[in-house]
Amino acid sequence: MAKEDENRCEKVSEEGEERQYYMPIPAGTPYSVIAEAANRFGVELTEKEVIVPGIGENEAAPLAWVLVGSRENLEKAHEFIVKKMTEMLEKFR
């Protein structure tokens, strides 16, 4: 994972357990690519609330898809997603 991506990861487990991190899914990523990455690298697809300024007390925060897993597996999944998206974009040239 690139240096700037390190800031987007966060621990989601408690002390004493294997550390789990999350990685936001870029908008527009096809579900087939996400599912293949999740299955291939043993990470889990889940939702996380997005912090948006101006949300009132009675309003629900929007949710975004994230992959959750070990740092090593998320790095591999990230590389896989970038590779697949690059291949898809090459088809449009």
What CATH number does the domain containing 26 carry?
Answer: 3.30.1370
Residue that has been written with the tokens 């697809």 in this structure: 45
- Residue with the bigger pLDDT between 85 and 53: it is 85
Number of domains in the chain: 1
Measured CA to CA, the distance from residue 18 to residue 35 in angstroms comes to 23
Measured CA to CA, the distance from residue 68 to residue 23 in angstroms comes to 7
- Token pair for residue 1? 């994972």
pLDDT digits (tens, 9 = 90+) for 25-50: 988 899 999 999 999 999 999 999 88
pLDDT for residue 3? 42
Residue range of the domain that includes 68: 3-52+60-90
Contacts of 26 (CB under 8 A, 6+ apart): 81, 85
Q: What share of the chain is helix, strand, coil (3-state, %, to 5)?
A: 40, 20, 45
Local confidence band at 9 (pLDDT 50, 70, 90 cut-offs): low
Indicate whether 13 pLDDT > 90: no
CB of 37 closer than 8 Å to CB of 85: no
